[in-house]
Chain A
Amino acid sequence: MNNQTVYLCATTDDQSEVEALQKVVQESFSTASITVVAFQSEALDQTKFQASFDQNVDAITFLNVEKLSVLDPNAVAKAYNQYFQKNDAGRIIFYANRFNNGIAARVAASNLSAIVTDVEKIEATDDHLNLVKKSYSGALKRQITVTDAAPLIITVNNSNITLEKVAAKETAVTEETLSIDYQVPKTAVYKSLVDNDNLNLDNAEVVVAGGRGLKGAEEFKNLEKLAENLSAAVGASRPVVDNGWVPNTLMVGQSGKSIEPDIYFAFGISGAVQHTVGIENVKTIVAINSDEKAPIFKIADYGIVGDAKEVIEKMTEITAQK
C-alpha cells in the first residue's frame, strides 16, 4: 500500500513549511511518487517556492483560485477538495500549524476520510504506517497504526529531524486554475504576522522568558534590559499574560508560540507541560527558579536555584560589561 502517491500540500513558502515537507520525503517516502500541491496566494510566491522544492519531487502543481481576494481557509480547502476529487488521493500531507490543521480538517470532513494531526513521526513499512502524534497537549504521545486507509490526511510537526541534501530529480511543474463556490466575507482582511524586521520570538537566537516568579509587570522591564544586552527576544508564560503583565504576543507554549532559539532562559517559570511543549526544540534551556523541585529543572541543561529577580540583575550587570 505504500506505493500510493504522496501529496505534499503547502499554503505558504515559509522555510519551516517547505523543510517539514521535504523531511517527510526523506524520512518516510523516499521511494514513493511525490506530488507537491501548493496553493498560490500572497503567502506563497510561486518562483520562491519552486526554487526551494525543485529537484526533490516528481511533480509540483500550483493551485490558483479565480478572483480570490483574500486567503480564506474555506476557499483553500474547497480548492484542495476539487483537486483531490480529480486525482486518486493516497496520502495527503500538510505541515502542522494552526492554519493548515484547519485546512486538513475541512478536507477530511468533506470526504469523511481518516485524519491524524500533529504527527511527529511517520514510519512507513511495506504494508502499514506507524505514526506518533502529540497527545494530552504534549504530556503524552500516541501511537497509531494505519493499514490501507485511503485517503489518509496527516499534518506533520517534525522539526526534531535534520534535513539532509538529496539527489536531483526531474520535476514536472503545472498550474491549475479553479473556480470555487465560496464567498469570502465582505471586509475580510488577511494579514501576515511575520515580522522579519524586528527581533522577535520567531527569529531570535536567544530568548529570555519570564513567568509568575517575576511577581509583577515591573520586573519585565528589567528583563527587557537583559534582553537588550543579549540581543534576545522576550517571552512569557501564560499566567503572566493572563495577569496582563505583558501582551499575549509574547506567550510561549500550547496557547502561544512554539519557538526554536538556540538558547532559552526561563526566569521564574515552573515548567508546566502547557509551557514546555512550546520549547521542545530549543537547543539549550537554562532554568532559573527559587523552587528546586520545579519541573522546569528536569528539562533544563543548566539551572540556578535562586530568586529570578536577583539573577536577572546579576546577569544584566555581567552582560553590560561586554
Chain B
Amino acid sequence: MNIVVYVKAMVDPDKASDDLTLVSEPAKNGTAVILNPYDKNAIEVALQLKEKYTGEVTAVSFGGDIETEKVLREALSLGCDHAFKVNDEGYESLDAFSPMLGSVLGKVPVADVSYFITGREAADDNQSIIGASIAAAVDADFVDNVDEIEFLENHSLKLVSRWDQSELSGIYEKTPLVISVTDTINTPRLPSFKAKMQAKKAKLDEVKVSDLTDLDLTQLNNLREKVDSTGVFEPEVINKENIIYDLEQDEQAVDKLMDNLKEKGIL
C-alpha cells in the first residue's frame, strides 16, 4: 500500500501582486516560490496514512528545475520517502486550462498505490481540477474537498467532503482512491532541522513528460492556441469614500461613525 501526494511550486500570492513578472518567470526569484499551502495539508494526510497503515509516500511535482526541486525537498523534509520530479521541458503549458497534466501525472511509475492525495486547489491558478484529472487517468473514484478523515480498521477510511452549503460523509473501502483535501482538515507538521538538512542532499527521481506518455504535442498545442492566457493583472481598485476616524485624536470617533452610518441609512 503506497501513497502518492502531488505538490505544486507556486509564487507566493503576496509577492506576485508586488511583482507581476514573477508570475511568468517564477525561477527568477527562487525565494518567492513556495509550496502550494493546500499541498501541505495533503502531505500531512499522506504521512498520517503511512503512519496508520504501512507503505511509502512519494511526492510528485511537475515544473521547472529550481521551483520543483525546492518544494520536493520541502516534502522530503516533512517525511515523504521519495520525490519525483516531472520535468516540464517542452510541455510548460501542460497544466493550463485542461486536465492534460493530470492525465500525464497519473502515469508516474510508482508501484502499488492505494491513495493519491492532492490539495483542494493550487493557490496560484485556483482551478481545482488536478484531483479529478488524476482520478480519470488512473480510473479511480475521486473524493473531493475532504475536510475530515478517520482511519478505520481494514484500511477503510471515513471521509467527510465539505462544500460551501453541504457535506457528504461516507466510508470508503475501495482502492485506489483519489482524495483532495481542504486546508482546514489538519495542521501540517513542521520539519526538523535535521530533516531539512537531509532533504537538501537527498536524491530526486526525475522523469520527462515524453517518458511518461505518448501525448500528442499537436493536440496540446492546438488546445493552447484555443484557450490562451494573455496574462495577469491587478484587480481594479474601487474608489471608496474611505472615511477614517482616529480614536486617539477624537474621543467621539465611534459616535460619529455610528451617526454617519445611520444618517446614510446603512445601519
Q: How far is the CB of A301 from chain B (nearest CB, A)?
A: 5
Cα–Cα distance between A251 and B162 once the two chains are bound (Å): 14
- Contact A306–B246 (Cβ < 8 Å): yes
Could you tell me how many residues of chain A have their Cβ less than 8 Å away from some Cβ of chain B?
93
Known pairs A98-B163, A109-B129, A304-B246; A149 contacts B184 (CB<8 A):
no
Cα–Cα distance between A133 and B243 once the two chains are bound (Å): 31
Q: How far is the CB of A315 from chain B (nearest CB, A)?
A: 6
Residue B217 lies at the interface, judged by CB distance under 8 Å to chain A: no
Residue A225 lies at the interface, judged by CB distance under 8 Å to chain B: no
- Contact B255–A141 (Cβ < 8 Å): no
- Contact B232–A302 (Cβ < 8 Å): no
Q: Which residues of B contact A297 (CB under 8 A)?
A: 242, 244
Cα–Cα distance between A4 and B112 once the two chains are bound (Å): 44
Cα–Cα distance between A139 and B124 once the two chains are bound (Å): 9
Residue B247 lies at the interface, judged by CB distance under 8 Å to chain A: yes
Q: Which residues of A contact B169 (CB under 8 A)?
A: 187-189, 191
Residue B20 lies at the interface, judged by CB distance under 8 Å to chain A: yes
Residues of B145-177 at the interface with A, using a CB-CB cut-off of 8 Å, are 145, 161-173
- The stretch that binds A, out of B52-60, B134-142, B196-204, is B134-142
Q: How far is the CB of A174 from chain B (nearest CB, A)?
A: 26
Cα–Cα distance between A143 and B227 once the two chains are bound (Å): 11
Cα–Cα distance between A302 and B135 once the two chains are bound (Å): 48
Q: Which of A192, A298, A318 contacts B255 (CB 8 A)?
A: A318
- Contact B16–A140 (Cβ < 8 Å): yes
Q: Which of A108, A109, A301 neighbours the largest number of chain B CB atoms within 10 Å of its CB? A: A109
- Contact B242–A300 (Cβ < 8 Å): yes
- Over the window 141-177 of chain A, the binary record of Cβ atoms lying under 8 Å from chain B Cβ atoms (1 yes, 0 no) is 1111111110010000000000000000000000000
Could you tell me how many residues of chain B have their Cβ less than 8 Å away from some Cβ of chain A?
80
Residues of A290-321 at the interface with B, using a CB-CB cut-off of 8 Å, are 292, 297-307, 310-311, 314-315, 318-319
Q: Which residues of A contact B144 (CB under 8 A)?
A: 73, 98, 102, 105
Known pairs A115-B98, A230-B267, A304-B245; A136 contacts B168 (CB<8 A):
no
Q: Which residues of A contact B16 (CB under 8 A)?
A: 136, 139-140
Main secondary structure of the interface of B (DSSP, over half): mixed
Q: Which residues of A contact B245 (CB under 8 A)?
A: 302-306
Q: Which of A77, A115, A283, A300 contacts B127 (CB 8 A)?
A: A115
Residue B51 lies at the interface, judged by CB distance under 8 Å to chain A: no
- Contact A302–B260 (Cβ < 8 Å): yes
Cα–Cα distance between A310 and B245 once the two chains are bound (Å): 14
Q: How far is the CB of B45 from chain A (nearest CB, A)?
A: 16
- Contact A102–B167 (Cβ < 8 Å): no
Known pairs A102-B132, A192-B165; A115 contacts B244 (CB<8 A):
no
Known pairs A116-B97, A135-B124, A135-B126; A318 contacts B168 (CB<8 A):
no
Residue A52 lies at the interface, judged by CB distance under 8 Å to chain B: no
Q: Which residues of B contact A286 (CB under 8 A)?
A: 257, 261
- Over the window 270-303 of chain A, the binary record of Cβ atoms lying under 8 Å from chain B Cβ atoms (1 yes, 0 no) is 0011100000000111100000100001111111
Which chain B residue has the least Cβ–Cβ distance from A142? B232
Additional pairs, 18, CB under 8 Å, beyond known A109-B99, A139-B16, A141-B235: A105-B132, A109-B137, A136-B232, A145-B229, A145-B230, A146-B226, A152-B227, A185-B173, A188-B168, A190-B166, A254-B123, A258-B164, A263-B267, A301-B242, A303-B242, A304-B245, A304-B257, A318-B254
Can you show 11 pairs from A to B with CB atoms below 8 A apart?
A98-B128, A99-B163, A109-B136, A112-B99, A112-B103, A113-B99, A142-B232, A144-B229, A189-B168, A300-B240, A304-B245
